[in-house]
Structure 1
């Protein structure tokens, strides 16, 4: 059951809209849809709540409820959704949710709607944050397995002196016009049972077109994050973006607003959704073609030159080609082994151009600053610490990865030294894990240099991938791909007990010596043999004599 109890309905100071609301200019286009039994159950509870409010006589007009935006769009597309936004005409979302809390505790309501303890969750209020273009205050309740947001219908009024809108009660049409896209501006009227279209949403659904309800420049400058949201919807739904909107998405005024007005956290959330989606390549392609890269991938806390992104497409197109041509033992199959790894792979691909920017200058004894590829992730899109550690490791280890790959391709004498490769893989994996993705990062950075026409050391795509496949096949052949999980024959305690000395600086290099020996002797199972080897190299390892 809801944990918060309702106050008297008339006690809420913002329950009624102010006078002077604009009325709807024209009837909306409508169609019908069929609800599932569970959706019908939710609808009946909400309509029953609205009826109770009407009967109280507290409001000047009947309560009209509408399911809005994404749920309606997905319903028309046959996509199941458990997130439902409920727009209310005559009261705030919080006041309506509190009324639900009240009646759901009544025995009559519980019996009528078959409510069980797990059917109704707690009420959560999400405050508005206009400074970060979070203009809507919403109240969320878990009902019958759905996450239901409640908010009043709104209209936005912007002034020349403020980037933040004045939020007022509005009509359904005004609420529809302030949304990011016409396909997200559809309503399902719970009172009539019809889908209502106050813009061109139904027609655009048929055309598979992403279009803004108002003039694109107004839509995007009001909330620049809508630029990224439209890209996400276009790639997720495989719709096209209206050419008129695309032109404005590249406008310098919109890019400046996106860079300065929107919090980096919100930008990061949109990018994560895109790169975890089914079409990450198309998302990055939109960002490239529309000139959005430098507004997204930047560190706003630093003044830095922008990287050359003219060859960036080679990186994300290469990754997409590897994904599409995945077969057992192929490059993608070996290097990308989970959904999480796939997301990390696309994130690394998105910042590949920053690799050539290197690292900020460093002087003094303090810890050196992270490379630009890391700071762009950390500050530009608020990547997680784990993601940033992976970016730093990928940047720092790329030279060694390339050196070993070159040795394999040139059939150098040392390529069968298992300890050389095994210990390198363990080093790559020590801090950030995901050594495979570090190898993939090196591949993608090299792709930007070697696959571009006119590059210093050009190669064909087939030959380029053949070389990397040869490298990975060699790691399989010498059996080092699982090097990070190699179990030690001898631990630290065994060592200092066997050697008769206390732990000291000698420990780490000696433990590494032991692991390297294990890679050279994969069949060894007797720790005493390894300990004797350590004793024989006591001086070289800096191990003191027995105490």
Structure 2
């Protein structure tokens, strides 16, 4: 057995950033029971480190000129407050969490969390703004009118596991949050913590992941690691500073946050942490204790990130689906079969990765918004396998929304636009699939530009994004077709690609944006009648005529078409 290093000795690790520059991590030796660092289980556990560490591990990072400008201003603000005698010990400011992590990875960030040792964030921010009004400060730090924004306060909501009260100011283009260092204490009859001033180490230990528990000390200019954050950065590992079950029960939203971080950073979640993330007590707490708005925010960040497939894979593998994409207020909501769900999100990622001009993804996903909607709909695909309840449709009135829409609206608090799109995608799925098959079989009506063009206009009329609706139909069909193994992925995709090629050749793709050759006022005048309920349908007849006659600019033919169908359209006589 090799001897342990003396406490005064150091060892170094080097991390390659995305810019190929090197950052050297210098760790003071921490006493440990084991003298080896092998798999995850042999790395020193955070609870042990808390008891045995004599000082934090450190490293340094290089600031940009703008970051240095912000650092100098905040440091002067701390000195300014120290000089007023309002605090009993000197203020120490630390930039915390995500900014430090991303900086070590060579990734820029405009969000900076600033932790304060002896003062609330609101009090510090107020004093900072007072300092920034002084002419000497404005001159010293080259402050312009747009450099200092207004103070915004975000209240805590412990019942929804929003334990922190933060104050935010826009400074030099950065969104800077101010909050005091904290520790959490719990009573026996409540899981809502009492937030108290704490040390930097105590604050680090209450965070969601070790890689998010790093500090940059503005006084020393060094990164401080009170857990195993720097080691885990090197190992690309997501772990919790404290025991995982306690971490997640304190704030169950951390389950989704760790999924998001692991996906975004392309890190691996520690196996012991993964096991707890799927614990039924943790999932029950996530479903019932956390506001669905906060759940929706995390899911949106995942699916708008660079690795949405990876996020859905984690949700699938860890058994989180039925906790996220559901209506937690409805006990009678059925449970969708997700055994083949992976086929949907894997296929979407395959289409994205193999995008070429004119390919399925290139044609159907034409904006960042459409890409996000596509991933949400891919997440909702399993609901298409659930049969509507026999009593779901009322005798009169509007039918209830599809299960997928309920999961979007209540599970992740999707906005009305996305919910409407989900409903439209569900309602139009069957017709879309029928047309794809008809084109594959060369059915005569598929040669009619107006027939296909008007179908596309119908799909687009209620919620827009008809192309994403086609993609939803494709993905839901894929979960059935590919599950049997009777067709390959390329064989399944071939008729869908042929359908899009055919619509392109037919000139029907832009049917929803077709400008009418005649408006309602002109049509009523030409017919010699007053506008009425008949108008909407008559104008659609005009659009269909346009689609059949794309090169004609005179509306006379469209008017005549309407006149010949006067009785059918219930247009009154003159």
Give the TM-score band, short-chain normalised: over 0.9
Q: Distance in 2 between matches of 1:527 and 1:113?
A: 66
Over 3 Å counting, the alpha-carbon distance change for 1:143 and 1:533 in structure 2 is: closer
**Could you tell me how far 1:537 is from its partner in structure 2?**
2.8
Which residue of the partner structure matches residue 265 of structure 2?
A: 237
Aligned to 2:566: 538
Structure 2 Cα separation of the partners of residues 49 and 327 of structure 1: 53
Instruction: Evaluate the alpha carbon distance shift between residue 176 and residue 164 of structure 1 in structure 2; reply closer, same or farther with a 3 A threshold.
Output: same
Q: How far off is 1:359 after superposition?
A: 4.4
Q: Determine whether 1:516 maps to 2:544.
A: yes
Give the alignment of 1:92-171 within 5 angstroms.
92-171=120-199
- Describe the superposition over 1:65-102 as per-residue Cα deviations: whole angstroms up to 9, x where unpaired: 11111111111111111111111111111111111111
Q: 1:92 to 1:37 in 2, by over 3 A?
A: same
Does residue 1:336 correspond to 2:365, yes or no? yes
1:466 aligns with 2:497: no
3-state SS of 1:150 partner? strand
**Structure 2 residue 470 is the aligned partner of structure 1 residue 439:** yes
Matching residue of 1:370:
401
Contact 2:255 2:277 (8 Å CA) reproduced: yes
Could you tell me whether the CA contact under 8 Å between 1:24 and 1:173 is conserved in 2?
A: no
Aligned partner of 1:87 among 93, 110, 115: 115
Distance in structure 2 (CA, Å) of the matches to 1:476 and 1:525: 22
2:430 to 399, 407, 431: 399
Q: Is 494-503 or 85-94 further displaced after alignment?
A: 494-503
Q: Structure 1 unaligned runs (5+)?
A: 1-21
CA distance, structure 2, for counterparts of residue 538 and residue 147 of structure 1: 62
Question: Which of 56, 68, 73 matches 1:45?
Answer: 73
CA-to-aligned-CA distance 1:23-77 (integer Å, 9 cap, x gap): 9963111112222222121111111121222223332221111111111111111
Instruction: State which drifts further: 424-433 or 140-149.
Output: 140-149
Match for 1:423 among 432, 454, 459?
A: 454
C-alpha contact 1:358 1:371 (8 A) present in aligned 2 = no
- In the TM superposition, residue 125 of structure 1 has moved relative to its aligned partner by 1.1
Q: Please state if 1:355 is matched with 2:384.
A: yes
Within 5 A, what are the aligned runs for 1:12-51?
26-51=54-79
Residues 358 and 372, structure 1, Cα contact 8 Å, conserved in 2: no
Q: How does 1:442-457 map to 2 (within 5 A)?
A: 442-453=473-484
User: In 2, distance between residues paired with 1:447 and 1:176?
Assistant: 45
Q: Could you list the runs of 5+ residues in structure 2 that have no partner in the other structure?
A: 1-49
Per the TM alignment, residue 414 of structure 1 is displaced from its structure 2 partner at its CA by 1.5
Equivalent in the alignment of 1:319: 348
How far the C-alpha of 1:108 sits from its partner, in A, is: 2.1
Distance in structure 2 (CA, Å) of the matches to 1:499 and 1:56: 83
Separation in 2 of the partners of 1:107 and 1:543?
75
Which residue does 1:15 correspond to in 2?
A: none
1:202/1:25 CA distance change after superposition, 3 Å: closer
User: What's the secondary structure of 1:351's corresponding residue?
Assistant: helix
- Confirm or deny: 8 A CA contact 2:541 2:558 kept in the other structure: no
Residue matched to 1:215: 243
Q: Give 1:522 shift.
A: 2.0
TM-score between both structures, scaled by the size of structure 1: 0.93
User: Displacement of 1:280 after TM fit?
Assistant: 0.3
Q: Could you tell me which residue of structure 2 aligns to residue 383 of structure 1? A: 414
C-alpha separation between the residues in 1 aligned to 2:165 and 2:570?
65
Structure 2 distance, partners of 1:432, 1:301, is 26
Cα pair 1:359 1:370 within 8 Å, conserved: no
Alignment CA distance shift 1:406-1:44 (3 Å): same
Change (3 A) 1:413 1:188: same
**For residues 545 and 86 of structure 2, what CA distance do their matches in structure 1 show?**
82
Q: CA deviation at 1:358?
A: 4.7
Distance 1:535 1:161 in 2: 77
For the Cα contact (< 8 Å) 2:343–2:478, is it kept in 1? yes
| Pairs within 5 Å for 1:460-499 | 460-499=488-527
Contact 2:529 2:572 in 1 (8 A): yes
Q: Following the alignment from structure 2 to structure 1, what is the Cα–Cα distance between the partners of residues 135 and 573?
A: 82
RMSD of the alignment, in Å? Answer: 1.6
Contact 2:204 2:241 in 1 (8 A): yes
| Alignment match, 1:56 | 84
Select 2:220's aligned residue among 186, 189, 192.
192
1:411 to 442, 446, 450: 442
The answer to whether residue 374 in structure 2 is matched with residue 345 in structure 1 is yes
C-alpha distance in structure 1 between counterparts of 2:69 and 2:187, whole Å: 43
Q: Does structure 1 retain, via aligned residues, the 8 Å contact 2:541–2:561?
A: no
Specify whether residues 113 and 402 from structure 1 end up closer, same or farther in structure 2 by C-alpha distance, changes over 3 A only: same
CA distance in 1, matches of 2:117, 2:273: 30
What is the match of residue 297 of structure 1? 325
Report the CA distance between 1:141 and its aligned residue: 1.2
Q: Secondary structure at the match of 1:534?
A: helix
Number of residue pairs aligned between Structure 1 and Structure 2: 522
